Amino acid sequence: MLYAILCYHDEDFVGSWSKEQDAAVMKKLAAVQEKLASQGRLGPVARLLPTTAATTLRKENPPLVLDGPYAETKEQLLGFYLVDCQNLDEALETAKELGAANPGGAYEIRPVGMFAPGGAVK
Amino acid sequence: MSETDAAWIDAALTSARPQAVGALLRYFRNLDTAEEAFQNASLRALKSWPQNGPPRDPAAWLIMVGRNAGIDEARRTRRQQPLPEDDQAISDLDDAESEIAERLDGSHYRDDILRLMFICCHPDLPPTQQIALALRIVSGLSVKQIARAFLVSEAAMEQRITRAKARVAGANVPFETPGAVERSERLAAVAAMIYLIFNEGYSASGDTAEIRTRLSEEAIRLARLLLRLFPGEPEIMGLTALLLLQHARADARFDAQGDLILLDDQDRTLWNQKLIAEGLALIDKAMRHRRSGTYQIQAAIAALHARAARPEDTDWQQIDLLYGALEVVQPSPVVTLNRAVAVSKVRGPQAALDMIEPLAPRLSNYFHFFGVRGAFLMQLDRNEEARVAFDRAIALANTSAEAAHIRMHLDRLMRDSKPPGKKAGT
Helix H or strand E encompassing B148:
helix B143-149
Q: What average pLDDT does the segment B387-406 reach? A: 76
Ramachandran angles phi, psi of B90, nearest 5°: -110, 30
pLDDT of residue B92: 45
Ramachandran angles phi, psi of A82, nearest 5°: -115, 125
Q: Do the beta carbons of residue B8 and residue B16 sit within 8 Å? A: no
B278 part of contact set with chain A, CB < 8 Å:
yes
Residues paired with residue A7 on neighbouring β-strands, in sequence order:
A79, A107
Q: Do the beta carbons of residue B199 and residue A24 sit within 8 Å? A: no
| Residues 53 through 112 of chain A touching chain B, CB cutoff 8 Å | 53, 55, 65-68, 74, 103-104
Chain B residues in contact with A74 (beta carbon < 8 A): 57
Q: What is the pLDDT of residues A72-120, one digit of tens each?
A: 788 999 999 999 999 999 999 999 999 999 888 999 999 999 999 887 7
CB spacing of A52 vs B221 below 8 angstroms: no
pLDDT of residue B75: 81
B290 part of contact set with chain A, CB < 8 Å:
no
Q: Measured between alpha carbons, how far is residue B121 from residues B134, B173, B196, B283, B333 in Å?
A: 8, 11, 10, 26, 26
A119 part of contact set with chain B, CB < 8 Å:
no
CA–CA separation, B221 vs B343, rounded Å?
35
CA–CA separation, A4 vs A84, rounded Å?
9
Q: What is the least distance, in Å, from the CA of A75 to any CA of chain B?
A: 10
By C-alpha distance, the chain A residue nearest B60 is A74
By C-alpha distance, the chain B residue nearest A13 is B15
Q: Which of B15, B57, B282 sits opposite A16 (nearest CB)?
A: B15
CA–CA separation, B275 vs A1, rounded Å?
35
CB spacing of A17 vs B11 below 8 angstroms: yes
* DSSP strands (E only) in B152-253: none
Furthest CA-CA distance within chain B = 89
Q: Measured between alpha carbons, how far is residue B99 from residues A21, B86, B104 in Å?
A: 30, 15, 8
Q: What is the least distance, in Å, from the CA of B246 to any CA of chain A?
A: 17
Ramachandran angles phi, psi of A57, nearest 5°: -110, 115
Q: Do the beta carbons of residue B215 and residue B148 sit within 8 Å? A: no
Helix H or strand E encompassing A9:
strand A2-9
Q: Measured between alpha carbons, how far is residue B417 from residues B353, B356, B361 in Å?
A: 15, 18, 26
Q: What average pLDDT does the segment B77-102 reach? A: 51
Q: What is the pLDDT of residues B64-83, one digit of tens each?
A: 999 998 888 878 876 555 55
Q: Which of A15, A66, A67 sits opposite B15 (nearest CB)?
A: A15
Chain B residues in contact with A103 (beta carbon < 8 A): 1-3, 8
Whole-number mean pLDDT of chain B? 85
The answer, yes or no, to whether residue B180 has pLDDT greater than 60, is yes
Q: Which of A21, A67, A74 sits opposite B232 (nearest CB)?
A: A67
With cut-offs at 50, 70 and 90, classify the pLDDT of residue B261: confident
CB spacing of A16 vs B232 below 8 angstroms: no
With cut-offs at 50, 70 and 90, classify the pLDDT of residue B391: confident
A13 part of contact set with chain B, CB < 8 Å:
yes
Q: What is the least distance, in Å, from the CA of A77 to any CA of chain B?
A: 14
CA–CA separation, B146 vs B137, rounded Å?
11
Of A15-19, B199-203, B397-401, which gets the smallest average pLDDT?
B397-401
CB spacing of A15 vs B224 below 8 angstroms: yes
Helix ranges restricted to H, A3-87: 11-15, 19-38
pLDDT of residue B417: 54
pLDDT of residue B426: 39
Closest CA to B248 of B235, B229, B265, B267: B267
Q: What is the pLDDT of residues B192-247, one digit of tens each?
A: 999 999 988 876 655 667 777 889 999 999 999 999 999 999 999 999 999 999 99
DSSP state for residue B254 in the 8-state scheme: B
**pTM listed for this prediction:** 0.87
Closest CA to B167 of B200, B121, B202, B217: B121
Q: Do the beta carbons of residue B146 and residue B164 sit within 8 Å? A: no
The answer, yes or no, to whether residue B22 has pLDDT greater than 90, is yes
CA–CA separation, A10 vs B58, rounded Å?
11
Chain B residues in contact with A25 (beta carbon < 8 A): 1
Q: What is the pLDDT of residues B28-51, one digit of tens each?
A: 988 999 999 999 999 999 999 988
Helix H or strand E encompassing A42:
strand A42-47
CA–CA separation, A2 vs B265, rounded Å?
48
Of B131-145, B169-183, B265-279, which gets the smallest average pLDDT?
B169-183
